[in-house]
Structure 1
Amino acid sequence: MTIKRLVAAMLLAGLSNSVLAEQSFTVQDIQVEGLQRVALGAALNNLPFNIGDTVTEATLSRSIKTLYAAGHFDDIQVYRDGNTVIYRLKERPTINKIEFDGNKDIKEEQLTESLTGQKIVVGEPLDKTIIKEVENGLTEFYHGVGKYNATVKMNVTYLPRNRVNLKIEFEEGDAASVRQINIVGNEVFSDQELLNNIESMYDLPWWRFLSSDRYQKQTLQGDFEKIRSYYLDRGYLRFNIDANQVSVSTNKESVYVTLNVTEGEKYTITGVDFVGDLIGQDDFIKALVPLKAGQLYNGALVTYTEESIAKLLARFGYANSKVRTIPTINDDTKEVALTISVDPGKRVYVRRINVAGNVTTKDEVMRREMRQMEGAWLSNDALELSKERIQRLPYIEKVDFETTPVAGVDDGVDVKYTVKEQPAGSFNAGIAYGDFQGLSFQIGVEQQNFFGTGNSAGINLSTNRYNKQVSLSVTDPYFTLDGVSLGGQVFYSDTDYTSLSSNLEAYKQKRYGFGASIGYPINEYNRLNFGTNYAVNEINSLTEVDQYRHFRAVLLDKADPDGGFKFTNYELIASWVQSTLNRGLFPTAGHEMVLTGRVTTPNSDLQYYKTTFEARKYIPLSNDHRWSFLSKLELGYGNGYGDKDGYDYTLPFTDNFYAGGQNLRGFEARIIGPHAIYRVVNSVPGLPNIGGSSSGLPTDPSLDSYYVSTRSMGGNAMAVATLELITPTPFVSDEYINQIRTSLFVDAGNVWDTEFDMDRYIGLSRYATSTYSPQLLDYSDPSLIRATAGVSLQWISPMGPLTFSLAKIIKKYDGDDQENFSFNIGTTF
């Protein structure tokens, strides 16, 4: 009885003095102490009760857990004073700064991203309980890349006002090298045959210092899968990796890898069957399957089959399909029957398509290129084609897209296209003075995304001592909603080549006119364009170049033989364009072919035609397209049709082809091609006239002489080819890889004149001139190939595309002037 009374007394004392009484009571007041950064209201909102509520010890305990869960406090104590509940809180310190020291293998951006995922962010409270977790996680990363001596320490420096600085110190140490990789259990294939297929290198000799035998856990795991695939692709269906061991040396500088395998035997496929819903495409899906009865099991073909069927289903809107191959294995006969299970799932529809990242370009410009429509089913092909078409625009640098499921709907997604724009035009303006050109003024704007509309427009005005020109052009690529384009141009130029220090033969020319064009899309990759031009040409001060004789003959005004030449042409133009390029500027994959024909109508003063063909193909050499190969071909031919007064029409010299400069780098611009030939008529003294002087009489034409000009007059045929290796640009960050391009190139080609008659000059003597005169070549010979090699740098600058080339001539002929370094504006390849 005495013991019971003593226990009862102790319980009563405990109940009267306990911080947290077991019996319930009504809360009359709540007090919170220790708050600095956290607002009182925010703290009270985390409590599971309010003033006036009846609480128990369990309620108060639950309130402590709730406050901890809010993540603002390091220490929480709760007291009761009568019916008042008192919370004494110690806030977590706020992170003032985060520093990294000694990290080389992990970039600061990666570290910051990782810490953010663990809620260690400047301005946020620090949870000291996860410091050790962060240290262990980073240490484990270093172990995964072979740095077993690495240590990571997070130091916390306390500052006034409950703030802290965090400094994470790294001692990375050296990576362990893979010294040996052993494979145990293999009999069919040798160790070396298997190891030739893996990425990890081991026990490298000193002279292979450019290679690395550094141990990396992820790389090694990938190598195990490559060995597994090597067996599965050759019929060894029961192949298995039983175990793998990675042993580290005592000094933690070497790693030894052992792989235990069971090879099994080869299995033959007895047949392929299908189960599930083939969405009515049974014949087409079955035709996709490369697996046949009687052939060895092939893991790569099985994977290819599953991916091909999934891609086909995605074309019809079944974006979440599940395709898997179920093998039925007969170990006695070493045969396997394959059953392909196809579950298309629900057809997925696109609710909304959003466009982001376009600052200049209007949304509608991108949307008219899209082949994935809102409200239609989701098609991977349509998504990718839309991306390609948008990225093919010359003012778009990069395009990415993502699909997001619509909340609460299992068959709907939103699509977001994110674009990155780039300069799509050029601007030039200036005033200059020079001894040769005098005072010059020029201003010009070429814009392929005029005011963000996707229309191209250009205006150029320039004037100097030898040239005055103005032109205006505009093209709307979507004049109609189905992609019919409409364009027009007006032009005028007045040029005096007699004072121009260029590679062209001298003459004066005025040219003015206007034109219009219209284009029709055939399909996603082909387009037809048609146009017409009205052009008036006036040529004066034409020198006595022998190759101009046909041109003179058909235009000569017998009433004014010393006058100039004026002719009006009505031109019809047609072109075919096929393009599968992945980008508008600096493509890395795909091809483009352009065939253009231009002909003057029979009622024109000159009757001729001109055709050009240009093809270029890009082959990516690496998965990231940083390396790619370009092959390019330019062909051209033109000539006259019909005759006048017994003289055949020919291609006018003003429309001749030229090479050198941009299309045959290493040579001066427009220098490649037939040079002008002057025929000098010899004479004998004539009889004296009344004044006492005498005039010469021409001798027989076979006694004439000739000399060749240093200036080119071009030809009516051209062929130029380019081979180019596009390489990563050194010292350029990934941010600018789509704006700067470096390449190694080889250019080769020739310009010739199919109407040139070498027999006219055989037997004639060469006229002696006081200046340099090139040797006469057979300008009708297409085999006079020139070749150069060099390096090129192209930059899409804010002022337009700039190209720098440094080239060395491999093959040249007399009269070909070289230009080792060249700089051009407005051209990219």
Structure 2
Amino acid sequence: MTIKRLVAAILLATGSHSVFAEESFTVQDIQVEGLQRVALGAALNNLPFTIGDTVSDFTLSRSIRTLYSAGHFDDIRVFRDGNTIIYRLRERPTINNIEFKGNKDIKDEQLTESLTGNRIIVGEPLDKTILRNIENGLTEFYHGVGKYQAKVEVKVNYLPRNRVNLVFEFEEGDAASVRQINIVGNNIFSNEELLSVVESKQDMPWWRFWTSDRYQKQTLQGDIEKINSYYLDRGYLRFGVESSQVAVSPDKTSVYVTLNVTEGEQYNISDINFVGDLIGQDEIIRAIVPLQKGQLYNGALVTFTEESIARVLARFGYANSRVRTIPNINDDTKEVALTISVDPGKRVYVRRIDVKGNANTRDEVIRRELRQMEGAWLSNDALELSKERIQRLMYIEKVDFATTPVPGVDDLVDIGFTIKEQPSGSFNAGISYGSFQGLSFQVGVEQNNFFGSGNAAGISLSTNKYQKSVSLSFTDPYFTLDGVSLGGQLFYSDLDYTRASSNLEAYNQRRYGVGANIGYPINEYNRLNFGGNITVNKINSINEYDQLRHFRAVLIDARNPDGGYNFTNYELSAGWLHSTLNRGLFPTAGRMVSLTLRATTPNSDIQYYKTLFEAQQYIPLSRDHQWSFRSKLELGYGNGYGSKNGYDYTLPFTENFYGGGQNLRGFENRIIGPHAIFRSATIVPGVPDPIGGGNFFPSDPVNDNYNVSSRSIGGNAMAMLTLELITPTPFLKDENRNSVRTSLFIDAGNVWDTEFDINRYANLIQLRQDNREPLLVDYSDPSLIRASAGVSVQWISPMGPLTFSLAKIIKKYEGDLQENFSFNIGTTF
């Protein structure tokens, strides 16, 4: 090596950015040393020259910067040996593992997401220069939430093969509390009035454990906006927060906040004008404006006006409109003239709608619920309605949509709907235990999204001590493209209520039949349903209690009085459903109202009708809908129409309403309602027969006795009310919030018999064999209300909805049996 080359090499080796000889030369070879994980080709691709190129000192310097920018190397040195360029590189260590210790306020997932944004990722090279910025950023975050004693340190542990482990160690400490909030310059409103509207609280006593006085920078900024809005909403147009100071105590455990404000005076609105393009909807836009001349200026109403106009424009495809209110303030008259500037922009059209996340549900099932069409103009109303309709599907847990502008075009967008599915099949089972009923069990399988088609199909099997039943059903909600539904069902049941555990008066019923139904949509929220059933009933082994006298009179076969009751009914039904619920399962907002009427045709063996009304209302109590109030009202009534052989038809006892169990938690299933009354004649002796025996005859009916059964027979009228406070479920992650629901409830209601006449038993004597038989009450009295309260937990599990209820009876009557705990699998809400 010549002296000249040796000197050049020494100069090149003096630092990462080496000094080169001044003359240019042609590169004959390029050598790279120190590579371990980075491929040679990847390193050479970052060089601004190749073999055969003529390079200068500037070119070599630029090559060092280019290699550094690739992000793979910690140190770069370049040497020249004749016309050969030698790069000696030290690769950045690879991140082997990232560990967090001591963090409570920031979740691991949030830290990982933040580090990923800064390219601190397992398996990627480590840029040490970023670590200091991350430490400072995390420390600043803790200061922002009031933890001024917090410390964050990143430790780098070196491993063989140029790998490192990163350990983020947190010392969060305690948050500083707001010791005092001072507002300076306020004369119109007192400190107490202004502090009542802010979220930050000062120096709270220990017993106010549900209220926090922890200082947070972000909360303080929001409080300043609330105070500003408080004044603007009351006409103080010139109000302003001039400055804010936050002083931290020496021990960093307390902060003192001072706000300096200027109140100004109140302003009235002198005039309201519009400028810009109202897209021909002048009357609608002017009609929705709540502002009026002469009224006090109100900042909230101004904002509401701008948002309302923007929503009207968005309804007609102007999604990027700009609505601004320009105030022209007259300080002399203390008036303000408002000019509302409307710039609709271009009408935006939808190029394409994409659906993702529907792994089990066919794409067409989701798309048929869309009200926003491809090729049509973009409408926020149509998008929100589409989201609501998809979310009402029983097999959809959550729906989100995003609007993405088409690159290079300012009037086209793509819309992406992201679906989160939930189990669409339901393993329908129920287990409950009561002091009188004992253990019961039922099982069934129902699929609301049959093979992803959106059709509902199910088979239900039920068995316990007194019941065996099976039913098959199928419904196509979109039998036609315009939403006409069609369904059918087959059913068979064999009920043996001769067992005491049924809570019902003894009889045996075999019932089977077939039915069909069809539904017609009226609009997005209302639907009409019609159906028909043919039902065959065979009843025997019945205890002939007194309330059955009319039913027996119209059905009994005089030639075979002990043959039971056999009758066939032809039923027609009509129903109306109104629903604005925001979800199919676990709704948190909206209402549902339904009215159903069933009646047998005049050629049926029994002529009767039965109607059921149900209304539910959900009122969200918080913005995130974690708190919500639910009310539910059920009303039912049924009776016979027409007569036979001089006897009026009545509602068959098999169609009676019952209370207890799912509709009145805390009471045993079907225990609420009228009880059976057994009437018996008094026996008196007659004339002795010739053999010396005695004859006995029934006395006059006015001397009859009766006893009341402990079993319920139901009634033809029902009223049930549920009030429910839906609360966040403790210890539950946010991603499971839509599949688990906890609520506090109050149930109240009654089942009664409008045809019952207590005067029929006024002069008779009640016999009681034991204390289990209740005293007779007026079963026609709807005011005999029962009530219970408790807590319920519902979970949409892979098997279907599970319901756990723990209830305590508040009001009951003699003969009512309690069931404090119940557990059901299936759709019970």
Which interval holds the TM-score relative to the shorter structure?
A: over 0.9
Deviation at 1:494, TM superposition (A): 2.4
The secondary structure found in structure 2 opposite 1:498 is coil
Distance 1:288 1:464 in 2: 60
The secondary structure found in structure 2 opposite 1:501 is helix
The secondary structure found in structure 2 opposite 1:236 is coil
Distance 2:272 2:252 in 1: 51
Distance 2:248 2:808 in 1: 54
Deviation at 1:671, TM superposition (A): 0.8
Distance 2:632 2:235 in 1: 43
Amino acid in the other structure paired with 1:75? D
Deviation at 1:442, TM superposition (A): 7.7
**Closer/same/farther in 2, CA of residues 128 and 438 from structure 1, 3 Å limit:** closer
Q: Which residue of 1 aligns with 2:94?
A: 94
Larger displacement relative to structure 2 (629-638 or 462-471): 462-471
Distance 1:656 1:770 in 2: 27
Specify every segment of 5 or more residues in structure 1 that has no aligned partner in the other structure, as ranges. 1-9
Deviation at 1:723, TM superposition (A): 0.9
Distance 1:384 1:483 in 2: 19
Q: Which residue of 1 aligns with 2:528?
A: 528
Paired residues of 1:653 and 1:713 also in contact (CA < 8 A): yes
Distance 1:468 1:15 in 2: 99
Paired residues of 2:427 and 2:825 also in contact (CA < 8 A): no
Alignment partner of 1:474 is 2:474:
yes
Distance 1:209 1:540 in 2: 64
Distance 2:561 2:209 in 1: 79
**Closer/same/farther in 2, CA of residues 669 and 468 from structure 1, 3 Å limit:** closer
Paired residues of 2:233 and 2:297 also in contact (CA < 8 A): yes
Q: Which residue of 2 aligns with 1:3?
A: none
Distance 1:565 1:338 in 2: 80
Alignment partner of 1:120 is 2:120:
yes
Amino acid in the other structure paired with 1:214? R
**Closer/same/farther in 2, CA of residues 629 and 17 from structure 1, 3 Å limit:** closer
Deviation at 1:316, TM superposition (A): 1.3
Specify every segment of 5 or more residues in structure 2 that has no aligned partner in the other structure, as ranges. 13-19
Higher relative contact order (CA 8 A, sep 6+): 2
Alignment partner of 1:323 is 2:323:
yes
Q: Which residue of 2 aligns with 1:355?
A: 355
Deviation at 1:384, TM superposition (A): 1.0
**Closer/same/farther in 2, CA of residues 17 and 454 from structure 1, 3 Å limit:** closer
Q: Deviations over 1:299-337 (max 9, x none)?
A: 111111111111111111111111111111222222211
Amino acid in the other structure paired with 1:616? Q
Deviation at 1:828, TM superposition (A): 3.2
Alignment partner of 1:40 is 2:40:
yes
Alignment partner of 1:293 is 2:293:
yes
Distance 1:438 1:751 in 2: 23
How many residue pairs match? The answer is 816
Q: Deviations over 1:67-92 (max 9, x none)?
A: 11111111112222222222121211
TM-score by length of 1: 0.95
Q: Which residue of 1 aligns with 2:17?
A: none
Distance 2:429 2:244 in 1: 69
TM-score by length of 2: 0.95
Distance 2:73 2:550 in 1: 97
The secondary structure found in structure 2 opposite 1:370 is coil
Alignment partner of 1:57 is 2:57:
yes
Deviation at 1:465, TM superposition (A): 7.2
**Closer/same/farther in 2, CA of residues 440 and 73 from structure 1, 3 Å limit:** closer
**Closer/same/farther in 2, CA of residues 691 and 98 from structure 1, 3 Å limit:** same
Structural mapping, 1:408-557, within 5 Å: 408-427=408-427, 444-461=444-461, 466-499=466-499, 501-557=501-557
Distance 1:151 1:810 in 2: 54
Alignment partner of 1:374 is 2:374:
yes
Q: Which residue of 2 aligns with 1:401?
A: 401
Q: Which residue of 1 aligns with 2:607?
A: 607
**Closer/same/farther in 2, CA of residues 32 and 14 from structure 1, 3 Å limit:** closer
Q: Which residue of 1 aligns with 2:73?
A: 73
Q: CA RMSD in A?
A: 2.4
The secondary structure found in structure 1 opposite 2:427 is strand
Amino acid in the other structure paired with 1:610? K
Paired residues of 1:93 and 1:163 also in contact (CA < 8 A): yes
Distance 1:600 1:77 in 2: 96
Deviation at 1:100, TM superposition (A): 1.9
The secondary structure found in structure 2 opposite 1:60 is helix
**Closer/same/farther in 2, CA of residues 273 and 428 from structure 1, 3 Å limit:** closer
Q: Which residue of 2 aligns with 1:4?
A: none
Deviation at 1:697, TM superposition (A): 2.4
Paired residues of 1:437 and 1:465 also in contact (CA < 8 A): no
Paired residues of 1:680 and 1:767 also in contact (CA < 8 A): no
Alignment partner of 1:676 is 2:671:
no
Deviation at 1:17, TM superposition (A): 8.5
Alignment partner of 1:720 is 2:720:
yes
The secondary structure found in structure 1 opposite 2:513 is strand
Deviation at 1:611, TM superposition (A): 0.4
Q: Which residue of 1 aligns with 2:29?
A: 29
The secondary structure found in structure 2 opposite 1:168 is strand
Q: Which residue of 2 aligns with 1:570?
A: 570
Amino acid in the other structure paired with 2:287? A
Larger displacement relative to structure 2 (496-505 or 737-746): 496-505
Larger displacement relative to structure 2 (616-625 or 489-498): 489-498
Paired residues of 1:438 and 1:464 also in contact (CA < 8 A): no
Distance 2:235 2:478 in 1: 55
Distance 1:624 1:779 in 2: 45
Paired residues of 2:203 and 2:213 also in contact (CA < 8 A): yes
The secondary structure found in structure 1 opposite 2:236 is coil
Structural mapping, 1:186-335, within 5 Å: 186-335=186-335
Amino acid in the other structure paired with 2:309? I
Distance 2:774 2:297 in 1: 70
Deviation at 1:176, TM superposition (A): 1.9
Q: Deviations over 1:485-521 (max 9, x none)?
A: 0011111222232235211111121111111100000
Deviation at 1:463, TM superposition (A): 6.2
Paired residues of 2:9 and 2:79 also in contact (CA < 8 A): no
Amino acid in the other structure paired with 1:504? L
Paired residues of 2:519 and 2:528 also in contact (CA < 8 A): yes
Amino acid in the other structure paired with 1:656? N
Distance 2:362 2:725 in 1: 35
Q: Deviations over 1:777-823 (max 9, x none)?
A: 11111111111111112222222222222211111111111112222
Distance 2:468 2:784 in 1: 36
Q: Which residue of 2 aligns with 1:7?
A: none
**Closer/same/farther in 2, CA of residues 562 and 252 from structure 1, 3 Å limit:** closer
Alignment partner of 1:384 is 2:388:
no
Amino acid in the other structure paired with 1:397? E
Q: Which residue of 1 aligns with 2:16?
A: none
Deviation at 1:757, TM superposition (A): 1.2
Distance 2:8 2:771 in 1: 123
Q: Which residue of 2 aligns with 1:139?
A: 139
Distance 1:231 1:752 in 2: 57
Amino acid in the other structure paired with 2:110? Q
Paired residues of 1:437 and 1:464 also in contact (CA < 8 A): no
Deviation at 1:56, TM superposition (A): 1.6
Q: Deviations over 1:587-637 (max 9, x none)?
A: 111111110000111111111110010111111111111111111111000
Distance 1:757 1:503 in 2: 23
Distance 1:522 1:29 in 2: 81
Deviation at 1:447, TM superposition (A): 1.5
Alignment partner of 1:735 is 2:735:
yes
Distance 2:690 2:378 in 1: 98
Distance 1:691 1:578 in 2: 77
Distance 1:724 1:798 in 2: 25
Deviation at 1:689, TM superposition (A): 6.0
Deviation at 1:462, TM superposition (A): 5.3
Paired residues of 1:156 and 1:164 also in contact (CA < 8 A): yes
Distance 2:620 2:273 in 1: 37
Distance 2:70 2:588 in 1: 52
Paired residues of 2:597 and 2:611 also in contact (CA < 8 A): yes
Amino acid in the other structure paired with 1:339? T
Paired residues of 2:428 and 2:800 also in contact (CA < 8 A): no
Distance 2:29 2:428 in 1: 77
Paired residues of 1:15 and 1:22 also in contact (CA < 8 A): no
